[in-house]
Amino acid sequence: MNAKNLLEGVRVANVGVELFAESLAAQNAPVVQVDWRPPAGGDPEMIERLDRLTPCDAANDAAIERLQAARPVWVDIGTAIDEVPGMGERTLLHAGPPITWERMSGPLKGAMIGAALLEGWAQDAEAAERLCASGEIAFEPCHHHSAVGPMAGVVSPSMPVSIIENRAPAELGGGGRAYCTLNEGLGKVLRYGAYSEDVLARLRWMADELAPALSAALRAMPEGLDIKNVIARALQMGDEAHNRNVAATSTVARTIMPHLAEAVSDTGVISRVADFLAGNDHFFLNLAMPAAKASLDVMAGVEGCSLVYAMSRNGTDFGVRVAGLGDAWFTAPAKHPVGLFFPGHSQEDANPDIGDSAIMETLGVGGFAMAAAPAIVEFVGGSTAEAFQATNEMYGITWARSRDYTLPALDFTGVPTGVDVRKVIETGIYPVINTGIAHREPGVGQIGAGVLRAPEAPFQKAFEALVEKVGG
């Protein structure tokens, strides 16, 4: 009999009629109201399938341990052709699941054209477009090369890439690396499909001056720069690490600056690098994303695991990868984000959802950590209550609460982490994703930012595959 703890005092989960919870609260008894809905919409066949997937529980426990233990550190900056595994001479990486040139949306095409120009493969945009359409360029997802990229996510061979290493113990999957380009800033930028001369000039400066300077600074930091630590601290300072990165970027700048000054003698370079960091609130996003990827990839391949290790969009399709289902992508058409637009732009101009940056929500921050970021609650309706609700709802579809990424406004409870495909199907709650919004035409760039729900079909397809593999 272990009823003793019960008789000493009840702590209740009230599943159903709220009246009972109110009565308990009136007696000062601790009670949590559960907003119960029929599982899988009450479909008995789906419930039966859900119940066949109980073996996933143990696998998820094992996988989440690896995710929790991950310790992504920014160790250096290199060149894509040298560092990114499998990067070919004539390869362009892009965000999201695989896609052919014909099916690419405007901003993704624009980014590819820009990258071809940057690499000097073509003299003008028309020639670059012809080249891209010719089949001579290999278009491959960043995710197939241990990389991630925001928006178009384009990585070309000569681009500088940050190297993020997971410094967890080897038995918990440590040692893996992930790569990402350096963030160009806001406005007209390549990742939104802009490729005018000023965009390309900035990219050249980043490769020629910014990357070597930051690399020198990083080499002066024997432990590297701990990105997990920065994300954790930024959540205490009002960032959600996807649409708001000002605290994290400031923290990185503050941390790296003494080493930069030590490693670089040219004060002109130091000044320009410092100025660039000061003028780009989203610099950190391109560090947070590979940190998230390096953290999540350790779950990939855990047998029977139903947790998602990548959510990503290429501007046409939305794709999901599940730890227990290997490399497979489960896709469906990407949706349009609903958001706030820069002057002169509106919802009609918006491209479908694009970018690998949903890796942040996969980790449990971004839209999942809205409760951390009262400054940007306009994206979810304008009130902190709605921000809390967004985070609260995500606890319904995740396997754990993060040990290290915590929410001060919620009494330092951990962010919801480890999206469980089964829970998504059971609750009908789909991941909430914060995002920038690209113009549908190439060459225009970012026109706003907003929020959306992941589409349902990729999760439904992944669920069916999981039932076949694990519940058979």
Partner 1 sequence: MALAVRVLSGAYHDSVKLMRISAAASEKAHVRGAAALMGTPMNLEQLAASGLLAEEAKGAGPNDLVLAVDAATPETAQEELTVMEAALTAPRTGGGAGPLADLSAPTLDAALGEDPAINLALFSIPGPSVRREAERALSKGLHCLIFSDNVSIEDEVALKRMGRERGLLVMGPDCGTAHIGGVGLGFCNVVRPGGIGVAGAAGTGIQEAMAAVDASGGGISCALGTGGRDVTDAVGALAMVQAIETLNEDAATEVLLVLGKPPEPAAMRKVLDAAAQCGKPAVVHFVGGLSEDIRKLPGLHAADSLAEAGRLAVSLSGGRMDTAAFEIDSKARARIAEWSRTRPKSRRSLRGVYTGGTLCAEAQAIVGKTLDGIRSNAPLDKAGGEMGDHLKSQGHCVVDMGDDLFTRGKPHPMIDPTPRSTRIVQEARDPETAVVLFDVVLGLGAHEDPAGEAARAIEESSSPGVLFIASVTGTGGDPQGLKAQRAGLAEAGVLVADTHAGACLSAAEALRETLDR
Using alpha carbons, select from 23, 24, 51, 20 the residue that is nearest to residue 36.
Answer: 20
Q: Looking at beta carbons only, is 1 or 170 nearer to partner 1?
A: 1
Token pair of 44, please?
Answer: 């008995």
Does 403 interact with partner 1 (rule: CB under 8 A)?
yes
Token pair of 58, please?
Answer: 């143990």
Does 422 interact with partner 1 (rule: CB under 8 A)?
no
Q: Looking at beta carbons only, is 19 or 170 nearer to partner 1?
A: 19
- What's the closest the beta carbon of residue 458 comes to partner 1, in angstroms? 20
Residues 6+ apart with CB under 8 A from 226: 71, 72, 73, 74
Does 79 interact with partner 1 (rule: CB under 8 A)?
no
Residue of 349, 389, 460, 469 that binds partner 1 (CB under 8 A) = 389
Residues 6+ apart with CB under 8 A from 112: 92, 94, 101, 104, 128, 132, 137, 139, 152, 154
Q: What angle do CA 373, 374, 375 make, to 5 degrees?
A: 90
Cβ–Cβ contacts within 10 Å for residue 394, how many? 24
Residue of 15, 138, 340, 375 that binds partner 1 (CB under 8 A) = 15
Q: Looking at beta carbons only, is 94 or 228 nearer to partner 1?
A: 228
Separation CA 358–CA 432 (nearest Å) = 9
Burial status of residue 16 (CB atoms within 10 A of its CB: 0-12, 13-18, 19 or more): exposed
Does 43 interact with partner 1 (rule: CB under 8 A)?
no
Does 414 interact with partner 1 (rule: CB under 8 A)?
yes
Token pair of 266, please?
Answer: 């040219």
Q: What angle do CA 234, 238, 241 make, to 5 degrees?
A: 55
Separation CA 327–CA 307 (nearest Å) = 13
Residue of 429, 456, 457, 460 that binds partner 1 (CB under 8 A) = 429
- What's the closest the beta carbon of residue 413 comes to partner 1, in angstroms? 5
Kindly indicate which of the ranges 20-28, 205-213, 291-299, 346-354 contains the residues binding partner 1, using the contact rule CB under 8 A: 20-28
Kindly indicate which of the ranges 338-346, 356-364, 399-407, 454-462 contains the residues binding partner 1, using the contact rule CB under 8 A: 399-407
Continuous H helices in 266-374: 267-278, 285-296, 359-363
Half-sphere exposure of 122 (CA within 13 A, CB side): 21
Kindly indicate which of the ranges 104-112, 212-220, 306-314, 426-434 contains the residues binding partner 1, using the contact rule CB under 8 A: 426-434
Kindly indicate which of the ranges 7-15, 270-278, 288-296, 433-441 contains the residues binding partner 1, using the contact rule CB under 8 A: 7-15
- What's the closest the beta carbon of residue 401 comes to partner 1, in angstroms? 6
- What's the closest the beta carbon of residue 446 comes to partner 1, in angstroms? 31
Using alpha carbons, select from 428, 399, 395 the residue that is nearest to residue 38.
Answer: 428
- What's the closest the beta carbon of residue 23 comes to partner 1, in angstroms? 5
Residue of 79, 196, 347, 392 that binds partner 1 (CB under 8 A) = 392
Does 58 interact with partner 1 (rule: CB under 8 A)?
no
- What's the closest the beta carbon of residue 271 comes to partner 1, in angstroms? 27
Contacts to partner 1 by CB under 8 A? 1-17, 19-20, 23-24, 26-36, 38-39, 42, 47, 51, 71, 167, 223, 226, 228-229, 232-233, 236, 388-389, 392-393, 395-397, 400-401, 403-404, 406, 408-414, 423, 426-427, 429
